[in-house]
């Protein structure tokens, strides 16, 4: 029986909301870059996330609360020739674990990052 390999995971602080686990791809150095740059990145990610929520609040079916949520992340290096790879080298996708009856109401948020700069971010519905 073949043993499944575990995907790499980092856990980062996201004050004042607690901690977030970010999963990556095996063999991808992107998570270590995110971990190293996280203290400088988090204030920018948080500010952009709040702005996106505010700008999209009329589009959303339910209000989004950032507190008392389980935050989930996916991140890593951008592949060449994909969206934003000409300007960024790391991606981060954030999702809040919302109640099941709201399943389709919450977007996920994609961030495209160059070193410690968020070069583009967007909600994905």
As a whole number of angstroms, the distance between CA 64 and CA 109 comes to 13
In a domain, 21, yes or no: no
pLDDT in tens for each of the 125 residues of the chain?
555 568 899 999 999 999 999 999 998 999 999 999 999 999 999 999 999 988 887 777 777 889 989 999 999 999 999 999 999 999 999 999 865 555 556 789 999 999 999 999 999 87
In a domain, 1, yes or no: no
In a domain, 88, yes or no: yes
In a domain, 93, yes or no: yes
In a domain, 114, yes or no: yes
In a domain, 50, yes or no: yes
- Domain of residue 100: give its range: 26-57+71-124
Strand-strand pairing, 108-114 and 117-124? antiparallel
Q: Comparing C-alpha atoms, which of 106, 111, 65 is closest to residue 88?
A: 111
> 41-51 pLDDT, tens per residue?
999 999 999 99
How many structural domains is the chain composed of? 1
In a domain, 16, yes or no: no
In a domain, 79, yes or no: yes
The burial class, CB within 10 Å (0-12 / 13-18 / 19+), for 99 is exposed
């Amino acid at each position: 029986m073949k043993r499944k390999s575990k995907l790499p995971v980092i856990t980062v602080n996201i004050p004042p909301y607690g901690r977030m686990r970010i999963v990556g791809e095996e063999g991808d150095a992107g998570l270590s870059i995110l971990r190293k740059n996280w203290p400088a990145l988090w204030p920018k990610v948080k500010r952009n996330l709040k702005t996106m929520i505010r700008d999209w609040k009329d589009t959303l079916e339910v209000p989004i609360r950032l507190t008392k949520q389980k935050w989930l992340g996916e991140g890593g290096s951008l592949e060449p020739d994909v969206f934003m790879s000409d300007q960024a080298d790391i991606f981060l996708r954030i999702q809040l674990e919302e109640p099941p009856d709201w399943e389709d109401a919450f977007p996920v948020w994609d961030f495209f990052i160059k070193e410690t700069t968020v070069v583009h971010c967007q909600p994905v519905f």
